[in-house]
Structure 1
């Protein structure tokens, strides 16, 4: 598991206070919302703020592209890497 994948998983757990979830419980390619981890729209806002703070990334909450980035841990990691490498 890469350092960034681990960091994103820890950020999800910490920012959403997921007490009964470990990094091993979060699958890299499973959906974060509804199915998979089962997060909701409030979780999305909190996670978005945490990512914005931690990685200094500007997010557009109403963008369809942003929703795509939040579909899984893998897509979030790809997005963070792409923004940081610009």
Structure 2
């Protein structure tokens, strides 16, 4: 496996920061709604409980996670500013 270029590392870092921000925003919204149990979280997100848990807590970046988190945030009505330089 060849090493990442500086631009690839930068893109990866920005992607991770976006994922973290979305997870925090979604988690905050779920907390505000009093939803903590995995089945409740899964139902609110329209996912199986295990799938929701992995998406919100996984330390491994999977293809499509960023877009899925954006869709879930939108579904919950969570506003994430696209004006922020990290977006």
TM-score, normalised by the number of residues in structure 1 = 0.32
| More helix, by proportion | 2
Q: Which has the larger radius of gyration?
A: 2
